[in-house]
Amino acid sequence: MEKLNIVAIEAKSSGLHVYSKHADNPRTGLPRLLTPLDQLGHNCKIFCEELPSSQVDWDAVAKAHIVMISSITSTAPRAYDLVRRVREVNPQATILGGGPHFTFEYQEALENGIDFVFLHWADISFFEWLDWYQSLKDPCEISTVDLEALHGIRGLAFMIANHPHKTKRPVEVDPDTWPTPDFRLVQGYKPKFIVLITSEGCDHNCEFCSIWAMYGAKYRARSTDKVIEDIRFYRELYGNIPIFVGDDNMAADTLNVKREVVVSGEDRLRNICQGIIDAGLHGSYSCQVRLALGDHPDLLDLMAQAGFDRACIGYESVEPENNKATGGKLDFDRMEEQTAAFHRHGIAIHAMWVLGFAADTVETVKKTLKLCMKWKIETNQFMILVPIPGSPLRKRLLKQGKVLHNDWEKYDGRHVVFEPELIGARELQVAVVLDAMPKIYNLFQTFRIYLDGNMRTLGRCLSHRAPHPRIEFRSHLGTLAMRLVGFNTVRRVKKDTLKYLETLRRFSKSVA
Ligand code: B12
Ligand code: SF4
C-alpha cells in the first residue's frame, strides 16, 4: 500500500476570541482521525494555525496527496483562503473539509474549492473514503464514474458536473471505538493542558445551539474504562498535565428513543470520578457541566476528590422568560445556591452567559453583571447570541429576516449579527463588549476574586474539607492568570468593536 502524505490544517480565527491567549489548543477531530493512519505508517502532519508555534509548512503541503481542512463558523473565511493557497502550491492535492461549519454549509464549502466535505462525524466516512481514494487508478484525475461510486459512503458531500451531491447521514459510532488522539501529530504543539472528549451530543436542545443538528437528539458516551485509558495515555506522555474534558455536556443523560433516561448524567460522572480515584489518577481536571449539578453535593464531593477544580457552566441568562430558548434547563431561584455549592467544594466556575435573547434589554446586561459579581464567579464569558448554522435560532431569524449578514468571521460571540427583539443591535454590542466586559475584567474585581478563592480554600483546609489543597490553590492562580488575560483582551478588542459599530450602522434598522 502506498504511504500517503497527509497535511491537516485547523484554520485560525481572524480576530481575538475570548480564549485566544489562554486556551490555545487544537480541537480533537483531526488528531482523532489521523492517529490510526499515523500508526499504519502514513506521513501525517497537523497544523493548528491558532498556535504561533504550529504555522503551516507549505513545503509539506506541496508534497501532500491529501490536505484536510477543519473549521468552525468564525474561521470559515480563513479556511477558504487556505483552500486557494493549497491549490496554488499543490494543484494535484485532494482537499477535504470537515467540522461543524462545513456540515451545515457544505454547498458553500464545495463552491469554495473543497473537493469532499465530511458531514457530522467522520469516524467511519473518512476511512471508507480513504479506501475509495486508494482504489483509484489516478487520484489526480477523478472521473464522474469514480464519484458515482461514492454514494454508498454516508456523511459525504461532493460535486458531480458542478452539482452538489450529499449522501445519507452517517450511522452512529460507538465512542469506545474512537482511538485516543495523539497530539504529537500537531506540529510545534506543547500542550499546557489536554482537551479530552468523552462523549458526543447533549440531552438539551437550546435554540441557539447546533449540537442536535450535528450529533442528533442523542448522547453517546465513552465507557469509564476507556476514559481512564485515555487519561493514563496522556499522563504517561505529559506527566501530571491538567485535563479539560471538552464534552459539550459531560453529565448529560443518555436517553432511549422514548426519551427516557437510560443512564443519568450524574451516574456517568460519578463513575468516571470514582474511576479516576481508584486508578490513582487524581490531578487537575475541568469540564463543561450543567449548573444543576450544584444540587448533588455527594457528586461535587467526588469531583473534588478526583481533582476537578473548575467547571465551565452554561448559565445562559438571568431572565426566566428566556428559559425556553435556553433548553428549559435553568432553575432561576436556585442559581445562587447551586453556584455556592460548587464553591463550597473548591470547584471554581467559568460561567458562560449569552446576551441578546428575546427578553433581553440593557438592564439584563447590568443585572447579569451584578449577579456574577455578587456570586463571586471566577471567570465570566459574556457571549452575544449568535445564529450559527445548524441552530434552530438561525432558521427562525432567517425566516423573520433578522439576520444582518453572513460575514462568518463575526460569528464569534463577540459581534451582534442579528436584529435583537427589545434592544438595538448597536446598543447590545456596546452594552456587552464596551460596558460590561471591562467591568468584569477590571483589576479590582480580579484581585477580589483571587483573594476570596484563596480564603475559601484556606477555610476548607482548616476544617479538613480540602482533599487536594495544592490543586485548589493552583486553580486560583489559574483564575488570576485568566482574568489578567481577560483584562488585556478587553482593551485590545475595543478598537475592533468601535469599527464594527460603524458597520452595524449600515445594517441595523434600530440604530440606537
Ligand atoms: C474544545 C473546544 C474549544 C477549545 C479549543 C478549540 C479550538 N481550537 O478551536 C476552545 C475553548 C479554545 C474553544 C474556543 C472556541 N469555540 Co469551541 N469548542 C470546543 C468543543 C467543546 C470541543 C471540540 C472538539 O474537540 N470536538 C470533538 C471533535 C472530535 O470534533 P471535531 O473537531 O468537530 O471533529 C469531528 C468532525 O467535525 C469531523 N471533522 C472535523 N474537522 C474535520 C476535517 C476533515 C478534513 C474531516 C474529514 C473531518 C473533520 O471529524 C471529527 C470526528 O468525527 C466544541 C464542541 C464540540 N462538540 O465539538 C466547541 C465548538 C467547536 N466551539 C465553538 C465555538 C463557537 C467557539 C468559540 C468561537 C467561542 C468563543 N466565542 O470564543 C471559540 C473560537 C475558537 C477558534 N478556534 O477560533 C462551537 C462552534 C460552532 C460553530 N459552528 O462555529 C462549538 C461546536 C461548540 C458549540 N456547541 O456550539 N473551543
Ligand atoms: S448549549 Fe449546551 S446545554 Fe444547550 S444544547 Fe448546546 S450543549 Fe446542550
pLDDT value for 506: 85
Q: Which residues contact 68 (CB under 8 A, 6 or more apart)?
A: 6, 7, 8, 9, 30, 33, 34, 95, 96, 97, 98
pLDDT tens per residue, range 214-263: 999 889 999 999 999 999 999 999 999 999 999 999 999 988 878 888 99
CB atoms within 10 A of CB 315: 25
Choose the residue to mutate in 6, 13, 19, 310 for probing ligand 1, maximizing ligand atoms within 8 Å of C-beta.
19
CA-nearest of 292, 243, 295, 241 to 272 is 243
Alpha-carbon torsion (30, 95, 12, 89), positive or negative: positive
* Index of the ligand 1 atom closest to the CA of residue 27: 25
pLDDT-derived band at 331 (thresholds 50, 70, 90) equals: confident
pLDDT tens per residue, range 387-444: 999 999 999 999 999 999 999 999 999 999 999 999 999 999 999 999 999 999 999 9
Q: Is the domain covering 5-166 a CATH 3.10.129.10 domain?
A: no
Q: Does residue 105 have its Cβ closer than 6 Å to ligand 1? A: no
pLDDT value for 491: 86
Q: Does residue 206 have its Cβ closer than 6 Å to ligand 2? A: yes
Alpha carbons 477 and 446: distance in angstroms, whole number: 11
* Index of the ligand 2 atom closest to the CA of residue 288: 2
Ligand 1 centre to CA of 370 (Å) is 30
Alpha carbons 375 and 282: distance in angstroms, whole number: 28
* Index of the ligand 2 atom closest to the CA of residue 248: 7
pLDDT value for 117: 98
pLDDT surpassing 70 at residue 508: no
4 sits in which H/E element:
none
pLDDT tens per residue, range 100-144: 999 999 999 999 999 999 999 999 999 999 999 999 999 888 999
Q: Atom 33, ligand 1: which residue's CA is nearest?
A: 99
Residue where the block lists cell 464514474 = 145
Query: Which amino acid belongs to residue 133?
Result: Y
Helix, strand, coil share of the chain (percent; to 5): 45, 15, 40
Three-state DSSP class for residue 86: helix
User: Region 457-470: what's the mean pLDDT?
Assistant: 95
Q: Does residue 211 have its Cβ closer than 6 Å to ligand 1? A: yes
325 or 348, higher pLDDT: 348
Q: Does residue 314 have its Cβ closer than 6 Å to ligand 2? A: yes
Q: How many CA atoms lie within 13 A of 115 on its CB side?
A: 22
Break the chain into its structural domains and give their ranges: 5-166, 193-400
Out of 3.30.70.370, 3.20.20.70, 1.10.3720.10, 3.40.50.970, select the CATH number for domain 193-400: 3.20.20.70
Closest ligand (CA of 202): 2
User: Region 147-154: what's the mean pLDDT?
Assistant: 94
pLDDT surpassing 70 at residue 510: no
- Compute CA 408 distance to the chain's CA centroid, rounded to the nearest angstrom: 16
pLDDT-derived band at 292 (thresholds 50, 70, 90) equals: very high
Q: Does residue 456 have its Cβ closer than 6 Å to ligand 2? A: no
Q: Does residue 265 have its Cβ closer than 6 Å to ligand 2? A: no
pLDDT-derived band at 326 (thresholds 50, 70, 90) equals: confident
pLDDT surpassing 60 at residue 509: no
pLDDT value for 512: 44
Q: Atom 7, ligand 2: which residue's CA is nearest?
A: 248
284 sits in which H/E element:
none
Mean pLDDT, the chain, rounded, equals 94
Query: Which amino acid belongs to residue 40?
Result: L
Alpha carbons 162 and 243: distance in angstroms, whole number: 45
pLDDT-derived band at 210 (thresholds 50, 70, 90) equals: very high
Q: Does residue 211 have its Cβ closer than 6 Å to ligand 2? A: yes
The cell for 45 is 502532519
Determine the angle formed by the axes of helices 335-344 and 297-306, rounding to 10 degrees. 40
CA-nearest of 79, 80, 71 to 112 is 80
pLDDT value for 23: 62
What radius of gyration do the chain's Cα atoms show? 23
pLDDT surpassing 70 at residue 20: no
Residue where the block lists cell 487519561 = 231
